[in-house]
């Protein structure tokens, strides 16, 4: 159980989830016509000629069709890993019953890769042969990975590596205010007091093993037995080229075999970076996805050159999806003034998660009641697309109430809409995330490839809190208490021999 003093003024147990045509030439004929033949013989010979001609034409046509089919399928996006290997992989998924043995490494290694903002479906936007290879020869969440709420970068990345919902690991938003100290958390806050729970790199080190992190929210925080060791823990620098990040991770496999870290992270800001600027449907997204696929190819090639590709468990995920937003989908808090005035000083987050902390003397329940009266009146532009809640009355499936860090009033905004304080002349169209995690556009990807992932296996969608237990199971180490199901790994991994 995470210390309740760090999360809430009331004891809150960590709930776990236990079971959620050319014409023929006469030279080709086997005989010649005879002018002295009878009409009947001539007719028979003519019929034979026509039959043979048709036979030749048909043969040529079939040969051409076969050649075309070969050329087409041999150049399809997943040619090397799909048409042939996907058939063998699909059948392998049915026959594999135990994990494949390691061939070069003497211990399991997990490489966790995040492509920020990789919305489920992006993999179909362009040719992605390398991602396709991992899918064809591994395990995929068939309809995507479900992020935790709010579907924001820091809460989700930290949920992936702790197995905890944000209310329990403490990172309830990308930015928030501690109601006790009045201090503000930002994405540059590395003090341990903010980061609760036990992330995977700390779990690994607790077992006397080595971990390496090439960027991941929370990885720079020196907490418990993790001291962010030099050379194995990279301090975030968004200007580092993606190729350099891949090459550094590959260099860990050049260490003596007993010194190779058993757990590694690798992070790319794309395609989230492009998604916020242009939304999910722009050509920039397609180009970003193609580049991510190229990087995965670089990684695979490097692992193959070192002879360890089949030994390494690669888990590729995103943290959330993306949806298009535009000015016509705006809701303004100032439009509620007839029912209640909500000053900007009350608002900790506008969109896509509206978070309001009324001052002492203002009852949160009154704020919710008056806001919903205005929003439901039909007199507030787009008002019907926002609903205010007391945090304890939010749908329980969101798991977003058991922390004093979560403001008392939360507004759920419908997909694609945004909240602002007041009307301005600013005009923009782009993309956003952070919405209800039940919204399909918020889904991202899960791909697992390695000895314990069945080839060609498709599994139902699941929440990312289950990844922590999956990784500790692969590494055969005991994890810290978390919100995930202890039985989940058996539904996605092959058992060890």
Residues identified as active-site: 153
Rg (CA), the chain: 30
Cβ atoms within 10 A of the Cβ of 142, count? Answer: 13
407 half-sphere exposure, CB direction, 13 A CA radius? 28
DSSP letter (8 states) at residue 434:
-
Residue 480 vs residues 260, 287, 316, 472: alpha-carbon distances, Å? 23, 39, 22, 9
Cβ atoms within 10 A of the Cβ of 487, count? Answer: 13
Q: Which residues contact 153 (CB under 8 A, 6 or more apart)?
A: 116, 117, 174, 187, 217, 272, 319, 320
Q: Which residues contact 40 (CB under 8 A, 6 or more apart)?
A: none
Q: Which residues contact 495 (CB under 8 A, 6 or more apart)?
A: 97, 98, 99
Instruction: Say what angle helices 283-305 and 242-252 make with each other, to 10 degrees.
Output: 20
Q: Which residues contact 255 (CB under 8 A, 6 or more apart)?
A: none
What's the rounded Cα separation, in Å, for the pair 236 and 218? 10
Q: Is the peptide bond before 352 cis (omega within 30 degrees of 0)?
A: yes
Residue matched to tokens 């999910």: 280
């Amino acid at each position: 159980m995470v210390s309740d003093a760090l999360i809430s003024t009331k004891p809150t147990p960590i709930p776990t989830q236990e079971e959620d045509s050319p014409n023929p030439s006469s030279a080709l004929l086997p005989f010649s016509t005879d002018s002295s033949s009878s009409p009947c013989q001539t007719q028979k010979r003519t019929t034979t000629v026509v039959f043979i001609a048709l036979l030749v034409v048909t043969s040529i046509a079939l040969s051409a069709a076969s050649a075309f089919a070969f050329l087409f399928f041999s150049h399809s996006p997943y040619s090397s890993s799909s048409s042939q290997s996907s058939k063998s992989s699909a059948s392998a998924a049915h026959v594999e019953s135990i994990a494949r043995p390691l061939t070069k490494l003497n211990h399991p290694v997990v490489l966790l890769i995040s492509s920020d903002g990789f919305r489920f479906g992006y993999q179909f936007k362009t040719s992605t042969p390398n991602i396709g290879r991992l899918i064809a020869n591994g395990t995929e969440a068939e309809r995507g990975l479900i992020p935790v709420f709010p579907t924001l970068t820091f809460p989700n990345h930290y949920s992936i590596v702790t197995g905890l919902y944000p209310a329990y690991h403490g990172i309830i938003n990308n930015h928030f205010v501690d109601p006790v100290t009045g201090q503000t958390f930002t994405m540059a806050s590395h003090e341990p007091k903010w980061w609760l729970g036990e992330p995977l790199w700390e779990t690994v080190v607790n077992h006397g093993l080595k971990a390496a992190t090439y960027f991941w929210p929370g990885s720079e925080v020196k907490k418990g037995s993790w001291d962010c060791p030099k050379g194995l823990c990279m301090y975030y620098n968004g200007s580092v080229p993606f190729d350099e990040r891949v090459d550094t991770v590959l260099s860990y496999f050049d260490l003596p075999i007993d010194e190779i870290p058993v757990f590694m992270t690798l992070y790319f800001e794309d395609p989230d970076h492009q998604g916020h600027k242009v939304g999910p449907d722009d050509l920039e997204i397609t180009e970003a996805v193609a580049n991510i696929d190229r990087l995965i190819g670089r990684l695979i090639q490097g692992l193959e050159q070192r002879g360890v590709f089949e030994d390494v468990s690669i888990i590729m995920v995103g943290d959330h999806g993306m949806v298009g937003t535009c000015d016509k989908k705006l809701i303004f808090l100032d439009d509620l003034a007839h029912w209640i005035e909500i000053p900007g000083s009350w608002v900790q987050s506008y969109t896509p998660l509206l978070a309001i902390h009324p001052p002492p003397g203002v009852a949160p329940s009154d704020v919710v009641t008056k806001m919903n009266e205005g929003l439901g009146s039909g007199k507030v532009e787009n008002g019907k697309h926002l609903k205010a809640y007391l945090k304890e009355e939010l749908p329980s499936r969101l798991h977003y109430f058991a922390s004093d860090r979560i403001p008392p009033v939360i507004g759920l905004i419908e997909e694609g809409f945004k909240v602002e304080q007041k009307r301005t002349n600013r005009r923009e169209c782009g993309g956003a995330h952070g919405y209800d995690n039940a919204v399909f556009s918020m889904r991202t990807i899960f791909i697992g490839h390695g000895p314990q992932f069945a080839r060609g296996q498709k599994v139902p969608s699941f929440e990312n809190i289950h990844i922590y237990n999956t990784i500790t199971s692969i590494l055969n180490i005991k994890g810290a208490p978390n919100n995930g199901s202890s039985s989940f790994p058996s539904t996605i991994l092959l058992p060890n021999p």
